Structure 1
Amino acid sequence: MTKLSVNINKIATLRNARGGNVPDLLKVAKDIQQFGAQGITIHPRPDERHIRYQDARDLKSVVYTEYNIEGNPEKSFVDLVLEVRPTQVTLVPDAVDAITSDAGWDTVKHKDFLTEITQEFHRNDIRVSIFVDPVKAMVEGAKATGTDRIELYTEAFAHQYGLGNKDGVQPYTEAAILASELELGINAGHDLSLDNIRFFKQNIPDLLEVSIGHALISEAISLGLDNVVNMYLNKLR
């Protein structure tokens, strides 16, 4: 079964919009795990517009499943991850002012940098995943850095699937096959939803984990968080 890691950034966005501690981020993280999700993901950004750095620290004592922290490995982020020591760090090359992640790494161009960062996290027993587009050269480049996993950036798939073009999954299938041949673990995330997750799962061999936040939290407004988590789990089996 592919594991479901729920990104709780949007819970923090809602909390921050009003001030105070409603909704309670730590309680939501506990609830999501009790509902059956196998992981919690956060993506702290330098401006702390949703997840705050202190949230990352506080969640350490709450997350008993897989704890995944993703972000651009600038110094403050690296220091935070080394302090918290989550299960996994996902390296994402988003700009400081990015609304959301919009591209994978050029793992060839940034090989030396990614290798150095990966080695630092490995020295601290933290699993590393690198965010990549479904391009074979980028998968091969990721392998050369020593990373444990890649995370396939799935926005293009989700867009094409929404247009009715199911062939849009083909580059992801090919990238996953290559990753498996290279003995890289395969994660995926971005714009995956209840509408497209089953099809994606069926077409991606050896998919270990998906990270889903915006769609899942949005769907939970109408359907309920417990219900939605289990709907995803059913589609991922």
Structure 2
Amino acid sequence: MPRKFLNAATLALAMLVSACSLLPDQIDETKDWSAGRLYSEAQSEIAAGNYDNAIRTLEKLESRYPFGTYAQQAQMDTAYVYFRQGEQAQALAAVERFIKLHPNHPHVDYIYYLRGLINFNDKLSLFNFLSRQDPTERDPKAAREAFDSFKQLTDRFPDSKYSPDARDRMRYLVNAMSAYEVHVANYYYRRGAYLAAANRAQLSVKNYPETPAVEEALFVMARSYDALGLDALRDDAERVLKMNYPNSVYFRGGKPKTGSWWNLF
């Protein structure tokens, strides 16, 4: 084949490849859409559960119209969509970014609430005491972070429409963290680590004094001190237990009924 024809064919092929590479941009039907239309499309995708499409549309909206109400709403919705997808790290990153960029936004209370929900969403893996996983293997860090987020919301925005639910979840989390300490204390007691058991139960009494788990925590402390031969501390724990729970089933050698507080949500 003559060289000039070969060069022409090569040039034509290169142009074809280049044209193909531009094709996705050429067929992007959203390229001339307004911010309002992009936002409406993203909302439709969210409502349909098409979260990947929603994220892509929200990203286009923010990149093309980076200023104004629609961009701010896109940032909020991006955090929500990642939350709905179960993408905790990305959801938290989006939340923190929004708070940093818009600390005085009129709906920043919602973002604080969402941050709490993102961490709270791990509650089943953290506090499902009926699972086969040993409770000492669970890290309650997410629960504490959720509590802190909800507390920031209720402290900064006590009249927010999200605050009542946040307070309910805070009560749940306090109860859960208290019960967590008692479960760990029982774990140590069963293995003969009586001092560790007493100390862990004491954390529940000290840090969460008004929670249902305190009754059992005092009982664990009493029997742990008894096993250690620390009679004075045992008697003191029993005295506090009897004073606060005079009808406790532990005085009759029983166990309390399984509470339903952890099924609140």
Q: Using structure 2 for the length normalisation, give the TM-score.
A: 0.26
Tell which has more relative contact order, 1 or 2 (C-alpha 8 A, sep 6+): 1
Q: If each structure's strand is expressed as a fraction of its own residues, which one has the higher value?
A: 1
Kindly name which structure, 1 or 2, has the bigger radius of gyration based on alpha carbons.
2
Q: If each structure's helix is expressed as a fraction of its own residues, which one has the higher value?
A: 2
